[in-house]
């Protein structure tokens, strides 16, 4: 790669404004967050041969979702874990460029997969190659922002990860517009849409890579005094990634993220059929409800993570788990009242805390392990997301299907799942309460950024 991508060439000069870093982070995160809007391609892909309706040889919807959306999220977590140390060593610019190459290159490969009706190419492009781009693009901006905003790490990570959550609001409508433009009697327009989106995203992601910088070693914001408040578990020490993942704190935080995401993504993934089954609303209304949840998912990432700067990361997760548990227990009551408005309010708050958990986690890791290799540590922790991305939707889908198959009315088929999600959050709460400061024997003695 060209030398200007190297970490030493991205060290900020005197006078560089740290407020240029959030736009760089959002530029990357908003592009890779397109995966949240992938559902707009599901039905067109399921009739890529028949065009107007599925025909013999067309791909099934469950297979499409598993080998694109689900696989992409799984590879996100795995690639973030594998390449985390490489990200810290090479800096954000090289990582963002690599992310753009993988993610956008994956869209190009997927485009050819659709055009040739080759499912292996579609899986390779969107699920595997694109998934690596997701993992690289997810952790690099977050790690950099934590270093630039030691005074407000929750707010900083909230800004970046809010960008990922907003990807569906941009990518979903963009995909629909492009498919409508390119569709023809012989094409559903997905192949062409993937190509155009790959080109647009490549430009936008490299804009972020161009303006991003890392702070010089020893830099701190003017007037900043490191916190010594033990109740917030904010450390001034550093722990390397190879040591961090062997500590109980790492695995407790892994469980904290996994339980929070399992509960939230289970609701988010089934929000449309749930509202239709529980309240008899139309598919269009259910689709609008999913859009509302996306807004709360995005806004919660900034609101809750910023609020964690006030009450501490441990306190914030206590709110997520306690309030979330209560709200899940109220979902069956909303169905009993037949109040879709009440259910909508409950689900919106739950999803806001689901998003908040994502945004608060990097700051929590920074508080516990320091900033030295927080990106690499974050990369390993978000394998919890990969696990939860499978567990949550599968639990909600399979348990509700089992209930329906055994004679439970469809409007009540989700009640057991909601009680289970409340129990999962209790497990997360216990793990969060057990988090303590890292034993000083694990602290790194000679830290170089």
pLDDT band at 449 (very low <50, low <70, confident <90, very high): very low
User: What percent of the chain is modeled with pLDDT above 90?
Assistant: 49
Q: Is residue 350 part of a domain?
A: yes
Residue 322 class from Cβ within 10 Å (0-12 exposed, 13-18 middle, 19+ buried)? middle
- Per the CB < 8 A criterion, the answer to whether 113 and 124 are in contact is yes
User: What pLDDT digit, counting tens, does each position of 73-100 carry?
Assistant: 889 989 998 998 899 889 999 999 999 9
Q: How many domains does the chain have?
A: 2
Query: Is residue 242 domain-shared with residue 134, that is, in the same domain?
Result: no
pLDDT band at 228 (very low <50, low <70, confident <90, very high): low
Residue 334 has pLDDT above 80, yes or no: yes
177, 211, 245 - which closes a domain: 211
Out of 207-211, 352-356, 382-386, which region has the weakest mean confidence (pLDDT)? 382-386
For the segment 386-390, the average pLDDT, to the nearest whole number, is 84
What is the Cα–Cα distance from 125 to 121, expressed in whole angstroms?
6
Q: Could you tell me which residue, 346 or 41, shows the higher pLDDT?
A: 346
pLDDT band at 394 (very low <50, low <70, confident <90, very high): confident
Tokens coding 26: 């959002």
User: What pLDDT digit, counting tens, does each position of 398-439 carry?
Assistant: 888 888 888 888 888 889 999 999 999 999 999 999 999 998
Query: Is residue 322 domain-shared with residue 186, that is, in the same domain?
Result: no
Q: Is residue 408 part of a domain?
A: yes
Query: Is residue 37 domain-shared with residue 175, that is, in the same domain?
Result: yes
Q: Is residue 448 part of a domain?
A: no
159, 179, 211 - which closes a domain: 211
What is the Cα–Cα distance from 137 to 130, expressed in whole angstroms?
10
- Quick one: which of 47, 99, 40 has its CA closest to 75? 99
pLDDT band at 164 (very low <50, low <70, confident <90, very high): confident
Query: Is residue 284 domain-shared with residue 196, that is, in the same domain?
Result: no
Query: Is residue 251 domain-shared with residue 323, that is, in the same domain?
Result: yes
- Quick one: which of 26, 250, 12, 30 has its CA closest to 156? 26
Query: Is residue 322 domain-shared with residue 393, that is, in the same domain?
Result: yes
Q: Is residue 220 part of a domain?
A: no
What is the Cα–Cα distance from 261 to 161, expressed in whole angstroms?
14
End-to-end CA distance of the chain: 22
Residue 208 has pLDDT above 90, yes or no: yes
User: What pLDDT digit, counting tens, does each position of 101-146 carry?
Assistant: 999 999 999 999 999 999 999 999 999 999 999 999 998 888 898 8
Q: What is the largest CA-CA distance in the chain?
A: 69
Q: Within 13 Å of residue 45, how many CA atoms lie on the same side as its CB? A: 29
What is the Cα–Cα distance from 320 to 302, expressed in whole angstroms?
14
Residue 448 has pLDDT above 50, yes or no: no
Between the CA atoms of 369, 374, 380 and 381, what dihedral angle is there, to the nearest 10 degrees? Answer: 60
| Integer CA distances (angstroms), 152 to 64, 307, 364, in order | 40, 10, 12
Query: Is residue 176 domain-shared with residue 242, that is, in the same domain?
Result: no
Q: What is the CATH number of the domain that holds 128?
A: 1.20.1250.20
Query: Is residue 207 domain-shared with residue 298, that is, in the same domain?
Result: no
Q: Note the pLDDT of residue 14.
A: 84
What is the Cα–Cα distance from 427 to 430, expressed in whole angstroms?
5
Residue 231 has pLDDT above 60, yes or no: no
Q: Is residue 337 part of a domain?
A: yes
181, 211, 241 - which closes a domain: 211
Q: Note the pLDDT of residue 8.
A: 87
What is the Cα–Cα distance from 275 to 289, expressed in whole angstroms?
8
| Integer CA distances (angstroms), 88 to 81, 85, 215, 382, 385, in order | 12, 5, 13, 16, 21
Query: Is residue 195 domain-shared with residue 121, that is, in the same domain?
Result: yes
Q: Is residue 225 part of a domain?
A: no
* Full domain range(s) for residue 313: 231-442
Residue 446 has pLDDT above 70, yes or no: no
User: What percent of the chain is modeled with pLDDT above 70?
Assistant: 96
Cβ-based neighbour number of residue 62 at 10 Å: 12
User: What pLDDT digit, counting tens, does each position of 189-206 carry?
Assistant: 999 999 999 999 999 999
Query: Is residue 118 domain-shared with residue 237, that is, in the same domain?
Result: no
Phi-psi region of 73 (alpha: psi -120 to 50; beta: other; left: phi over 0): alpha
Tokens coding 7: 């970490």
User: What pLDDT digit, counting tens, does each position of 51-70 carry?
Assistant: 888 888 899 887 888 888 88
Query: Is residue 380 domain-shared with residue 311, that is, in the same domain?
Result: yes
User: In 78-122, which ranges are E strands?
Assistant: none
Q: Is residue 315 part of a domain?
A: yes
For the segment 323-352, the average pLDDT, to the nearest whole number, is 93
Q: Is residue 105 part of a domain?
A: yes
Query: Is residue 281 domain-shared with residue 162, that is, in the same domain?
Result: no
Out of 268-277, 290-299, 341-350, which region has the weakest mean confidence (pLDDT)? 268-277
């Amino acid at each position: 790669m060209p030398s200007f991508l190297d970490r030493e060439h991205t060290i900020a000069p005197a006078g560089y404004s740290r407020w240029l870093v959030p736009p760089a982070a959002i530029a990357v995160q908003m592009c890779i967050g397109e995966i949240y809007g992938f559902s707009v391609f599901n039905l067109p892909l399921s009739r890529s041969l028949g065009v107007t309706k599925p025909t013999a040889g067309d791909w099934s919807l469950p297979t499409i979702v598993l080998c694109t959306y689900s696989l992409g999220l799984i590879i996100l977590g795995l690639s973030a874990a594998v390449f985390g140390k490489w990200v810290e060593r090479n800096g954000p610019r090289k990582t963002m460029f690599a992310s753009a190459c993988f993610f956008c290159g994956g869209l190009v490969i997927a485009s050819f997969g659709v055009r040739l009706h080759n499912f292996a190419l579609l899986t390779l492009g969107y699920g595997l190659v694109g998934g690596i781009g997701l993992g690289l693009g997810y952790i690099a901006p977050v790690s950099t922002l934590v270093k630039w905003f030691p005074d407000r790490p929750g707010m900083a990570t909230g800004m970046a990860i809010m960008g990922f959550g907003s990807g569906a609001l941009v990518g979903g409508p963009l995909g629909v517009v492009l498919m409508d433009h390119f569709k023809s009697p012989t094409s559903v327009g997905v192949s062409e849409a993937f190509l155009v989106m790959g080109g647009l995203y490549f430009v936008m992601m490299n804009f972020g890579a161009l303006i991003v910088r890392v702070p010089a070693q020893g830099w701190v914001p003017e007037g900043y005094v490191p916190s010594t408040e033990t109740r917030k578990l904010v450390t001034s020490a550093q722990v390397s990634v190879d040591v961090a993942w062997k500590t109980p704190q790492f695995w407790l935080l892994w469980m904290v993220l996994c339980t929070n995401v399992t509960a939230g993504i289970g609701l988010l993934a089934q929000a449309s059929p749930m509202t239709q089954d529980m309240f008899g609303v139309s598919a269009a209304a259910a689709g609008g409800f999913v859009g509302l949840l996306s807004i709360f998912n995005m806004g919660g990432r900034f609101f809750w993570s910023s609020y964690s700067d006030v009450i501490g990361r441990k306190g914030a997760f206590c709110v997520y788990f306690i309030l979330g548990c209560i709200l899940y227990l109220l979902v069956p009551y909303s169905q009993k009242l037949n109040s879709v408005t009440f259910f909508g309010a409950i689900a919106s708050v739950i999803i806001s805390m689901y998003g908040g958990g994502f945004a608060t986690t990097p700051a929590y890791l920074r508080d516990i392990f320091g900033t030295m290799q927080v990106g690499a540590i974050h990369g390993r922790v978000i394998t919890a997301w990969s696990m939860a991305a499978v567990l949550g939707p599968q639990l909600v889908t399979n348990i509700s299907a089992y209930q329906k198959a055994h004679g439970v009315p469809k409007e009540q088929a989700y009640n057991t799942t909601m009680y289970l999600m409340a129990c999962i959050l209790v497990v997360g709460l216990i793990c969060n309460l057990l988090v303590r400061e890292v034993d000083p024997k694990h602290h790194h003695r000679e830290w170089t950024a």
